[in-house]
Structure 1
């Protein structure tokens, strides 16, 4: 499979993950009134689980029988991504004249997309 196809599939999977992430974050933050950073982590975690399953089967077509190890690697990459995601939101929302939380979250998702793709291609699913 060529690199462009992988990026496209990873992007489409990420778009679904973003919808899950934003939806769960909004529900937890706005309706359930959970702290915005905890709500962000919940949304991110639900998206990560979904994204692993789709990326394993569709994007990277993994045949690794050690899916537990593979998921652990995916989770480590995602947790680093969560740290980057939260830090970027903090930087833009808290430090940069109060950029809207969801605008800051969008910027974080774009930056973390690049990290996640490269780390998963070179580490998780190589």
Structure 2
């Protein structure tokens, strides 16, 4: 049996490397989905990831040192500021909700299912948008 006979269609999501975004045409069906348009983009994305991770690690260390300095003066953190643990939890929830909503947009789903996922996305993003993440705290 030909693999063409088993095909149920094609999708063309963008390349996983942020600076590329070329379409990655692939068949729908069983098997692992391609994330990158080429090996060059895969290697480049890996390099970009490592560079960004190093920046994050460096700034997290600066944050820890600064928090220690603030604590050493005996002052409390701002009332609306999120702790690093809270921020991590909210960010993870927001990323999951965004990925689910993004998948629904790519695949195309009935409006009632999309509305539920949109509500979940708003719920996950609300804490990040309304409390100490560089935004001014607002009442919802």
TM-score where L is the length of structure 2:
0.28
TM-score where L is the length of structure 1:
0.30
Higher relative contact order (CA 8 A, sep 6+): 1
Determine which structure has the larger helix proportion and give its number. Answer: 1
